[in-house]
Chain A
Amino acid sequence: QVQLVQSGAEVKKPGASVKVSCKASGYTFTDYAMHWVRQAPGQRLEYMGWINTGNGNTKYSQQFQGRVTLTRDTSASTAYMELSSLRSEDTAVFYCARGRFHFDIWGQGTMVTVSS
């Protein structure tokens, strides 16, 4: 079946970086863009940006511009989200989601905790 499986929980110190992976299966990876969404505990969904899995082009939300990098490995059908200069406010669940204009398949989420 179509699914996105994300990497496991991470604990990072302030100022560090984290890289989350999202492995796709059950469909042709390059047929759909991959989007990333952050959700702090008890808070709303925040759109981070997306990557064209075919050509690697990216578009980032202004809020995360300069700190987030989206990449993909087409041979592994895997997308990656790297967030740098982590601060306590980045403690959140990060989701990948497949889609063009709407997001029909979501990963299970990856909890990132930023703590000294």
Chain B
Amino acid sequence: QSLLTQPPSVSGAPGQRVTISCTGSSSNIGAGYDVHWYQQLPGTAPKLLISRNNNRPSGVPDRFSGSTSGTSASLAITGLQAEDEADYYCQSYDSSLSNSMFGGGTKLTVL
């Protein structure tokens, strides 16, 4: 059981905007710990997509953006493309665990 809850799946048509939520609690996101997002394409290692809530590493398109509010975070993808079809994970630190943790992951399907 993950302490960061994500929807199992989301979908959208090419060109559309989708969001993926990551719901935490007062011991992680709500405590101000940063949220990071990873993209995992089929059969590959995860790739850092968003760091420290809303920072894109070099090479990540500006179609990807992150935000936080209260005990939740969101990843938004605009101008959806077929190549965006992947699993997406949020990650943060939890003070009750005294360690990092991942969300359950969300599978994005591009219709």
Q: How many residues of B contact A (CB 8 A)?
A: 24
Q: Which residues of B contact A104 (CB under 8 A)?
A: 48, 51, 57
- Let me know if B98 is at the binding interface, CB within 8 A: yes
Q: B97 touching A61 by the CB < 8 A rule?
A: yes
Contact flag A49-B99 (CB < 8 Å), given A44-B89, A101-B34, A104-B57: yes
Q: B101 touching A47 by the CB < 8 A rule?
A: yes
Measured CA separation A108–B45 after assembly (Å):
6
Q: Which residues of B line the A interface, CB within 8 A? A: 2, 34, 36, 38, 40, 45-48, 51-52, 57, 89, 91, 93, 97-105
Q: B98 touching A59 by the CB < 8 A rule?
A: yes
Q: Which residues of A contact B36 (CB under 8 A)?
A: 101-103
- Let me know if A45 is at the binding interface, CB within 8 A: yes
Q: A45 touching B46 by the CB < 8 A rule?
A: yes
- Let me know if A72 is at the binding interface, CB within 8 A: no
Q: A44 touching B48 by the CB < 8 A rule?
A: no
- Can you give 12 A-B contacts (C-beta < 8 A)? A37-B46, A45-B102, A47-B99, A47-B102, A59-B99, A61-B99, A95-B45, A102-B34, A102-B51, A102-B91, A103-B48, A106-B45
Q: A101 touching B57 by the CB < 8 A rule?
A: no
- Let me know if A62 is at the binding interface, CB within 8 A: yes
Tally of A-B Cβ pairs under 8 angstroms? 59
Q: What would 10 more interface pairs be, CB under 8 Å, given A45-B89, A61-B101, A101-B34?
A: A44-B2, A45-B46, A49-B99, A62-B97, A101-B52, A102-B34, A102-B91, A103-B38, A104-B57, A106-B45
Q: Which residues of A contact B34 (CB under 8 A)?
A: 101-102
Distance between A73 CB and nearest chain B CB, rounded to angstroms: 22
Tell me the residues in window 72-116 of chain A with beta carbons closer than 8 Å to chain B beta carbons. 95, 97, 101-104, 106-109
Q: A44 touching B97 by the CB < 8 A rule?
A: no
